[in-house]
Chains A and B, each alone.
Chain A
């Protein structure tokens, strides 16, 4: 029997793998020590567990354990990376390059720094969501201290050419930071091969617990430093003070290990399911995939169903299927997704989009159900849509003088 509701919003968060929870439990109950307690067994146990987890996390991304700074999540890691570099390298320059499709944790941090004297260049993306490397190169200045480009986009799954980006940053003496929250654990990410200097990621996007994330900070070639944003006991090599979330860290470590061991098989399984979903849904008329279909995460698909509105569409099945829409009909501004708009989508198409995020626990049966539920709802709503009727009558919607609200 198919169990409802079906969860297809894994880009927002993932359920925890039971194997992860199992490793965490003892660190709430028996081994509850403070990892900073250096003079008794409870502290040593906790410290030992953190050391092991740090190794597991580092191994997943090809880093050294000493290069992992634990944070409360990717948002904090993004903040620490960008603000930390801005403060640490102020004598070198104040210019940061980023992209319009970044997560708000990066964009809002950059906006904050602008008020403090930073000069920020926001690169645009093409219709596939990819940046133009020549544009990046042209934007580099002697004062550029940081290039911040996300590894893979949270809405479309589009993967940026990180190797090329890091090479350009290096050539101009700038550091390369990437928010890899959606990518780590899903596809092979290797900080050495990719030339990443600083990288943010989070456990709850890879079947680990919420409230724990990490910042990778390179220690060699070059040795990177960030100014702490939280002061206190000097934990995490002085870069992030605060008592370590030992159970969270242990869970994060286990989650990383599982991703590393199972990734290859999982990519095959999940991309097959995603492709089935996409192929079937694209059989509907006027349905389009947003973002690159080649350079993309294996579990993500963002589709616009023209002439139906995303929220109205979701209402047709949101009791049984959980996913996300690029429409923001609930907000006062009615603004659709800025990421989709940055790809050049009109507001109408952005309002008509659904984001599918498949995960480790997604089954083929669930995908079959989803295909049918969405297809049926799209067809039903199109019958109810004045835009669909006009389209079918051959009326060019651009010629209509709309009453803007």
Chain B
């Protein structure tokens, strides 16, 4: 399968690889996937007092599309409010990276990681976790 230019670029020059201190109250961590499924994605957000995402980091075990999806997700997260971040849809990632149908799974994983990170941040700060509908494509 040929990868799109954007997937290759994110793979070769991934943005925001790294680790934020998960013990900080203003950091939300989302860890999704499983080693036996061949992909594990960890997305982290740092949120300021105004509810704006000031930093985002990722680490991903997976194929090129999974790495690209998480790299793109961190780029999109930075500068957004938490509420805006919740609106990132996996199909936006598919479109932006031109992912083939067999790789849609990777974008779903990224969306789930965003949601998991936001919920982690919310619960840490005394807010209720948001109940999300089960993503359709897995």
Contact = CB atoms under 8 A, between A and B. Distances in A.
Interface stretch (A43-51, A59-67, A119-127, A305-313): A305-313
Interface in A333-356: 334, 336, 346-348, 351
A334 B108 CA distance: 14
Nearest to B43: A386
A329 B63 CA distance: 7
Interface in A312-340: 312, 315-316, 327-332, 334, 336
Contacts of A397: 35
Interface string B35-76: 111111110000000000000000111111011000000000
A402 B60 contact: no
B112 interface: yes
Given A334-B38, A384-B14, A405-B39, A311 B33 contact: no
B59 A389 contact: yes
Interface in A381-405: 383-389, 397, 400, 402-405
A405 B35 contact: no
Nearest to A315: B64
Contacts of A308: 61
B17 interface: yes
A405 B102 contact: no
B17 A383 contact: yes
Nearest to A319: B8
B138 interface: yes
A309 B34 CA distance: 12
B138 A402 contact: no
A387 B105 contact: no
A397 B42 CA distance: 14
Interface string B1-29: 10100001001001001010000000000
B44 to A, nearest CB: 10
Contacts of A330: 1, 63, 102-103
A403 B32 contact: yes
B85 interface: no
Taking residues whose C-beta sits less than 8 angstroms from the other chain, chain B's interface range is: 35 or more
Contacts of A307: 61
Contacts of B61: 307-309, 312, 385-388
Contacts of A328: 38
Contact of A347 (B3, B35, B105): B35
Contacts, number: 104
A311 B19 contact: no
B102 A332 contact: yes
B118 interface: no
B117 interface: no
Contacts of B40: 385-387, 402
Residue of B11, B36, B38, B103 ringed by the most chain A CB atoms within 10 A: B38
A346 B38 CA distance: 11
Contacts of B17: 383-384
Contact of B19 (A315, A351, A389, A404): A389
Contact of B109 (A311, A386, A400, A405): A405
Residue of A336, A386, A397 ringed by the most chain B CB atoms within 10 A: A386
B35 A351 contact: yes
B32 A386 contact: no
A324 to B, nearest CB: 14
B93 interface: no
Contact of B67 (A384, A389, A400): A384
B62 A346 contact: no
A387 B39 CA distance: 10
Given A307-B61, A384-B59, A346 B36 contact: yes
Contact of B63 (A312, A402, A404): A312
A381 to B, nearest CB: 8
A224 B3 CA distance: 50
A315 B63 contact: yes
Given A309-B66, A384-B14, A389-B19, 10 more contacts: A311-B63, A312-B11, A316-B11, A329-B38, A330-B63, A330-B103, A347-B38, A384-B17, A405-B32, A405-B109
Closest 6 CB pairs of A and B: A347-B36, A402-B34, A348-B35, A315-B64, A386-B59, A311-B63
Interface of B: 1, 3, 8, 11, 14, 17, 19, 31-42, 59-64, 66-67, 102-103, 105, 108-109, 112, 116, 138
Interface of A: 307-309, 311-312, 315-316, 327-332, 334, 336, 346-348, 351, 383-389, 397, 400, 402-405
16 contacts: A309-B61, A312-B11, A312-B62, A328-B38, A332-B102, A346-B35, A347-B36, A347-B38, A348-B36, A383-B17, A384-B59, A386-B42, A386-B61, A387-B61, A402-B33, A403-B31
